[in-house]
Chain A
Amino acid sequence: MIRKIATVAMFELKRIFKKPQSYIIMFGMPLLFTLIFGSLLSGGEQVKPTITIVNNDNSTLANNYIDEIQAKDVMKLNFTDEDRAASDLSDHKITGYILIEKGFEKHLLNEEKLNIMFKHSPEYNGAVMIKQVLHNSLQKIMISTKASTVYSSLTGDSWEGINTKISNELKTSSGLKTEMITKNSEMAGMQNMSARSAGFTIMFVMMAMLSSTGVILEAKQTGVWYRLMATPTSRLELLLGYLLGFFLIGWVQFGILMAVSTIIFNITWGNIVANIILISALLICTIGISLFIAGFVKTSEQQAVFGNLVIISTCMLAGVYWPLEIVPNFMQEVARFVPQFWALEGLMELMVRGGSIIDIVEPIGILLAFAIVFLGVGITRVRFD
């Protein structure tokens, strides 16, 4: 039983790597696409998000805070009222807005809990970075405010004058500023590179998967299937053999792409175990979809044409080619019905935000659900005679 399954699986694996064109589609294309799209959309002004500040406090400290944020130079800032900002956000004119509530200065002076709100579209990948900036800036303001209030209570001078002095000093002396900028622009660039790398890896693994499941149709065309059915091999063994083969092929490809992109593009894929589970779920999903398509067509060529069409279009939907923030709202909603969206979501969490399995429970769960449904349906479409 095991031996037959292994024989079929290993033979398929061997077969695919004997074809020179396999290397192009499996490794050449994804790396090339990552290089082109990754560098195209990263770096420069382009990635700087446009963020609106709603300043409801309009106090000295609030303005200091805004200056502080502006100094970090990681976003394009503009200013309006809250209603306008909210409507701009829902219209996708801005990436998000920062709400400085009334009483900001008072709370700060009284050392009370502060609430800075950053509202953004859920797909925005850079939110963590912005929050980091907001937090760091606030920290600085708090330190300088504390310092100046202590100073003023000692000297009797007005705290505002002292604060300006201190915060100016902090700004120039800390050296923190330039450090932050380089780190953040690098981060934005890396993030796009990671997203493209993950995205194109997903897309080309799916394509390679599609062409490897095509071997069943091809076998039927060439008559190899006929001979396979004549061997004393049960349908279950044959099916499991093929599935294992596809799965292994997918993993070899993914593994190599991960390694190469790490070396060439300096991409961190993050938590290994979480990656393995996530990608396995994606592979099973893809095998299911491919078998499903194979069930409707006659030849492996038809399957390739039709399947690639499905893969490319769903990859566009899922945000493989470009960040999802640039597409209209309803498209972002539609993306949630595509497995690649969840794979990408999960991978980005692992790569950029350094998440662990716990953080990608949702993408993994949804992908596994997709996988079970597609594989279940796909297997029933395999015709044995």
Chain B
Amino acid sequence: MMLEVKHLMKSYGKRQIVKDVSFTINKGESFGLLGPNGAGKSTLISTICGLISYDQGEVYVNNQSIKKFPLVIKQKIGIVPQEIALYPTMSAKDNLMFWGKMYGLKGAKASKRVNEVLEFVDLKDRAKDRIETFSGGMKRRINIGAALMHEPEILIMDEPTVGIDPQSRNHILETVKKLNESGKTIIYTSHYMEEVEYLCDRIGIIDNGEVIALGTQKELCNRLAGGSVVHLDVENKTEQGIDSINEIKNVKHIVSKQNETKLEIYVNEAHETMGEIVTTAVNHGIKVLAVEVQEPNLESLFLQLTGRTLRD
């Protein structure tokens, strides 16, 4: 077990920001923390890294408590803060060098790592330029690079793609994927469902400081009552027809609003059941104009769990 979080609690004043959070992450795993703005992702990460104290609970890295061995554990973690935590008036190289040294690298080894990291984030040609002259995406890449200098076992990334263009974003996602494939344990927070779906083996959904769902992507989606949603555009809706559709195996629930030509059918295994649904409808004289299947995703799970969307 690489990382173990047990009943973690943190409050600022009277406000409980992290509420009884528990999860474990295995070595080499890539773990996503998905949650809307203000969910407490950054706060949770800061407590895990020993940056802010917590009120209750425990955090273990390699079975060592962060409270007892803060410096040992900090050495194993590389953190990519949500903000660009670099010195703007210094060059990319100076920045990387400084952070490397702060993690105990020295002399030739440090210089070698600077080059490797610059190569990895694809900014070797900008090594001597000041950070303040970089584009947003480049800054983000150096921000990640600074966390890689000491080759940490665990890489914790707090919304590393916030506020940048799609191209830079893809570049960063590829970078993270590569790091994970090379064996690094990764914790990745985001409020972009697509990012964690793409990157993460396991996902924790966090809202208001609570982990409200935890598991692999498949596990989570199966938790959705009725998995997918089939949207039907129909004419001549009949009570009887709807009841019959509702009796089909795998159909969980139907939403049919009066005076509307739409049916929302919540169903498991949508594609296999699709034919039966349409046949049943037609047999009851319901004219089907259009069919759309919405696959289950984390967004709809979040919507179902909280009644809100991830981003407003």
* A interface residues with partner B (beta carbon < 8 Å): 3-4, 7-8, 11, 14-15, 18-19, 222-224, 226-234, 385
Between B52, B83, B87, the greatest number of chain A beta carbons within 10 A of the residue's beta carbon is seen for: B87
Is B277 on the interface with A (CB-CB < 8 A)?
Answer: no
State A172–B53 Cα separation when bound (angstroms). Answer: 86
| Contacts A222-B85, A230-B77, A230-B79 known; 17 new A-B pairs at CB < 8 A | A3-B104, A3-B106, A4-B102, A7-B102, A18-B89, A18-B90, A222-B83, A223-B81, A223-B85, A226-B81, A226-B83, A226-B85, A230-B49, A230-B81, A232-B74, A233-B102, A385-B52
Q: Are A231 and B83 touching (Cβ within 8 A)?
A: no
Q: Are B94 and A229 touching (Cβ within 8 A)?
A: no
Is B86 on the interface with A (CB-CB < 8 A)?
Answer: yes
**Which 4 residue pairs of A and B lie closest in terms of their CB atoms, listed nearest first?**
A223-B83, A227-B85, A223-B85, A232-B74
B146 to A, closest residue via Cβ: A227
Is B183 on the interface with A (CB-CB < 8 A)?
Answer: no
Interface residues of B in 70-105 (CB under 8 A from A): 70-72, 74-75, 77, 79, 81-90, 94, 98-99, 101-104
Is B51 on the interface with A (CB-CB < 8 A)?
Answer: yes
* CB of A254 to closest CB in B, whole Å: 23
Known: A7-B101, A227-B146. A385 touches B51 (CB 8 A): yes
Given the complex, which residues of A lie within 8 Å of B83, measured CB to CB?
222-223, 226
Q: Are B52 and A224 touching (Cβ within 8 A)?
A: no
Q: Are A224 and B85 touching (Cβ within 8 A)?
A: yes
Known: A7-B102, A15-B89, A227-B81. A232 touches B72 (CB 8 A): yes
State A4–B81 Cα separation when bound (angstroms). Answer: 21
Given the complex, which residues of B lie within 8 Å of A11, measured CB to CB?
94, 98
A229 to B, closest residue via Cβ: B51
Given the complex, which residues of A lie within 8 Å of B77, measured CB to CB?
230
Q: Are B51 and A231 touching (Cβ within 8 A)?
A: no
Known: A224-B85, A227-B81, A232-B71. A7 touches B51 (CB 8 A): no
**14 A-B residue contacts at CB 8 Å?**
A7-B102, A14-B94, A223-B81, A223-B82, A223-B83, A223-B84, A226-B81, A227-B79, A227-B146, A228-B102, A230-B77, A232-B74, A232-B104, A234-B71
* CB of A301 to closest CB in B, whole Å: 15
